[in-house]
Structure formats: C-alpha cells, structure tokens
Structure 1
C-alpha cells in the first residue's frame, strides 16, 4: 500500500509498505470491483452508499479521438431531467470510491457521470505498481482530458434524464486540477468543486514537468467561466500553502468573487478518501456539505 500524499503519486521517499493482502477482482462490466489496492489502507472502513432508489450502470460514448470512453453513471430513479455532475477521479481511475461518490451525488438529486480518462492506455484501478500507474496517468494529456470532458458533456446533453443546461464538475487529487482547467474552458459548466488538485508546479519541478502540466490553475483565474470551490489541506505535502495563497490572490485579482478556497487545519492530502490512511472524517463531511451547498445554489438553482 502506498501512502499517497501528492496529487500525481509518490516520490521515492513517500513509499511505505503494508502487510495487508488485497484481493481486487474484475467485475463483469467495464470496471474492477473494490478499491484501488495501491492506496487501500489496512484498517479502511469506507463509506458505502447503497443503490436503492437509484439507477446505476456502465456506459461508453465516443471521444473526439474516436476512443469509446467508458464511464460509470449514477442518477436518481425516474425520468428527470436531473442536473448533471461530472466526476473526475484521482490517479487510480474509476474504482469503488469514485463510484460511491457518484452514488452519493445521485442520492442528493444529481446525475453523476465518472469517465475513465486513463483507459486508453490501461485501467490503473487494479494495479499496485505506482510507477506504472504514474506512467498511465502521464499519458492523459490536457487536450485528451478536455476532449473527454467535452464528450461527456455532449453525451449527457443527449440523455432525456439529464438537464444539459445545469452541469457541475468535481474531482479529487489529479481530478481536482482537471476541475480548474475544465471550468476555464467550458462555458456550459455552472460550478466546480476541486478537492486538493495541484495549483502550480512544484518548486523543484523540472522544466519538462512544468510544461507537461500546463495550463496550471494559478494561470487560469482570468479564464474561469464559473465559480470554483477549492477544498485543500493545511498539511498537504504535495500542495504547499504558498501555492494555495497564490491561487487565492489570482482569484482576487481576476475579480472571481464567486470562487473560494477552504483550507482545513492539519488535514493531509487525500483527506476525503475514506479508503486511505489520510482520511479525516470531520473534514471530509464538512467538505461534502460545502460541495452540496455550492452545487445546490449554482447547478440546481
């Protein structure tokens, strides 16, 4: 098991091993059953959200490059149309934690869609080799990811149960950065909630890494087309507080008064991930409450 303290995966001195033996099998559909073994804590007791009263399933739809993009969908039972939330995973893809977050959103009245951004190369969810996971994630470049978001928006707009005029986006870690990027690109989005996504290059990042990570959220404040709520941890070793402060200042300079960033005292990276050692139940619950209030006012409203 890897203690994940950075959005894009660990550095060499972050690695810690667990004695837990993990069995994560494939389901009959597009996604694995269970949680990503690379980060599953030995004593994890994840939140589980039942699917009663919901319609859930796996779908595929065409991306701009012709790839059949898999996605998990959870929505309230019934005709709708329901407001939509695109759910962007961490580096582990669409495993049970992400699917459960979709069901939580569906219980709150949203149609949640979680695309599998990494599956062109390989599904990272069942893997334990962090080096391979990082390679898979690195292959998902900005234009591909934005194309997948666009494909998800297009597909949702064609579903009778979805209200394509009321759309939000949320994501964790790697997906938190994608939230900022998507909200600067797509005018159809009404709101975004970014959970501890990297905002600027690491201070020791090599030029190639800085270039590969562009556009960085700290440079996108002027381009945001909807309000974004950022949820960050004070003790996040991968996202230092100076970068969070720089993002706050960028939002202020850009006049983005509808956007905000909340920093949780002593919270580490991944504090919402209830299957990891980094989980902080009180902060996770408060962040989820804020997410629902933010979306209820701007996406449902």
Structure 2
C-alpha cells in the first residue's frame, strides 16, 4: 500500500478587523499543490463534527481549514460557548464575512495550496456560506447545506443580521451547490423554492439537490437526524462539485 498521511493542527489566522482568531487546519502530507476548502461551522459551534469534516476533506486530497467564529466569546466546551453566543444574539454577519475572508486568504497564501478554494457550511454555516459568497470574489465555488434563514422575514432581522442573504443574490460571483432535506423546517421546502427562484432570476450557476426522507442536519452521524443513504449521496455531490471548480 502507498504511504498515506496528513497533518492537522490548530492555527491562528487574521480575522475580521485584523483580529486574530483560531482555526483548525488539515491537509495531506506532501508538497501539493492541493485544492482548498474553507468550512464555516454551524450554530452548535466549532465542534468535533467540524474537526472530523476538516480531516475528511484532507483525506480526500484537500487543504482544509475551519475557523472559529465564536473565538471572541471564549474557550471551553463548544456547546457552552455556542449557548453563550446564542444568548448574545449570534455573531454579526459582517464579522462572519470578515473572518471567512481571513480564512480564505490564509489558505490561499500557503505554499502547498493550488490557489483555488471553495467554501462549505451547514445549518447557520450554510447561511453564512451563501452570504459570504455574495460578498467576495475570492472563491471558486460555494457549498450551502440546509442553510436556514437565507430567506428571512422583516421581523427576523436584527442589528447583527440586518439583511436577508437572499437579498444579495445578484452579487453571487461563483457557482453554488445546495443540499436540502424535504422534511426540514429551517429552511422549509417553500423557502428553498424562493432561494432557487432568485438564483434563476439572476442567471446564477447553481445545483440544488433535495432529499425525501431527510430533514435538517442529515449529514450528522452523531445525531438522530442522520440519514445514511441521503448523506452518502450528498457527500458524493460535494466532492464532485469541489473537484469541478477547484482541482
């Protein structure tokens, strides 16, 4: 068997407003160059699932990084930190955009990276993925998995989330992959319809795949919401999409 290995470690990157934040990076051993993927974690936080997903991308030949959007709220158990962040009304959208741009630029500056990168996120990270993709020209593709609150009513807007991501669709500057469960309530199938209609209206390049028998979080093997057949198919679509635009 051929030798196989990877390096995975916590690093410090420059986030929004030039503030340092932590991130978890993983890549195959060797000189590369490797295509890149930036993972935007979900509402439950910078947790074990996201570390494992980061290593999964490295196993498949990618240089991957998952930055800690909750860094400024302290360290400790990811669930406790996430609860504190939720109590504070979440993190500002503008800060997420700045932190993600910092992660992309850190990744693209590495000598073993091929200069191309996609952004991947689930749940709130899916929302942030789409939002970020509408505010940058730094990435080659975006992968939004069940992004809740891309479509928002006026009464859902806050000072930290002052606009619905769907309102920025015209600015999307890269191809988009969307994976959704038809039993999800955030986003609902009707919200996914609106999301897709807006992409069509503006002539964007996208692929949406919707799964019967799946709700929110159907990739999460450590939770009852896991759906193995839909998740396996979804991962195949993730890697095919990344390969198309970042290899």
TM-score normalised per structure 1: 0.75
1:147-166 correspondence runs (5 A): 147-163=98-114, 165-166=115-116
Conserved in 1, the CA contact under 8 Å of 2:54 and 2:65?
yes
Residues 214 and 290 (structure 1 numbering): CA distance in 2 closer, same or farther, change over 3 Å?
A: farther
Conserved in 2, the CA contact under 8 Å of 1:217 and 1:247?
no
Task: Give CA-to-partner distance per residue, 1:36-90, whole Å, 9 cap, x none.
Answer: xxxxxxxxxxxxxxxx611111100222424221000011111112111000111
Look up the SS of the partner of 2:25 in the other structure: strand
In structure 2, the partner of 1:61 is 13
Q: How far apart, in 2, do the equivalents of 1:117 and 1:126 lie? A: 11
In structure 2, the partner of 1:98 is 50
Aligned partner (choices 105, 113, 118) of residue 70 of structure 2: 118
Q: How far apart, in 1, do the equivalents of 2:179 and 2:118 lie? A: 16
Look up the SS of the partner of 2:103 in the other structure: helix
Q: How far apart, in 2, do the equivalents of 1:110 and 1:221 lie? A: 28
Structure 2 residue 88 is the aligned partner of structure 1 residue 140:
no
Residues 216 and 92 (structure 1 numbering): CA distance in 2 closer, same or farther, change over 3 Å?
A: same
Conserved in 1, the CA contact under 8 Å of 2:45 and 2:81?
no
Moved more, 100-109 or 214-223: 214-223
Structure 2 residue 208 is the aligned partner of structure 1 residue 261:
yes
Look up the SS of the partner of 2:17 in the other structure: coil
Q: CA deviation at 1:214?
A: 4.0
1:1-301 correspondence runs (5 A): 53-123=5-75, 125-127=77-79, 131-135=83-87, 138-163=89-114, 165-198=115-148, 199-201=150-152, 206-209=155-158, 212-256=160-204, 258-300=205-247
Moved more, 138-147 or 176-185: 138-147
Alignment: residue pair count: 243
Conserved in 1, the CA contact under 8 Å of 2:122 and 2:146?
yes
Task: Give CA-to-partner distance per residue, 1:229-285, whole Å, 9 cap, x none.
Answer: 1111111122111110001111111111x2021111121111111111111111111
- 5+ residue gaps, structure 2, are none
Residues 124 and 227 (structure 1 numbering): CA distance in 2 closer, same or farther, change over 3 Å?
A: farther
- 5+ residue gaps, structure 1, are 1-51
Q: How far apart, in 2, do the equivalents of 1:187 and 1:133 lie? A: 29
Q: Which has the larger radius of gyration?
A: 1
Look up the SS of the partner of 1:61 in the other structure: strand
Q: How far apart, in 1, do the equivalents of 2:188 and 2:98 lie? A: 30
Which has the higher relative contact order, 1 or 2, with Cα contacts under 8 A spaced 6 or more apart? Answer: 1
Q: Which has the higher helix share?
A: 2
Q: How far apart, in 1, do the equivalents of 2:66 and 2:83 lie? A: 24
Q: Which has the higher strand share?
A: 2
Q: CA deviation at 1:176?
A: 0.2
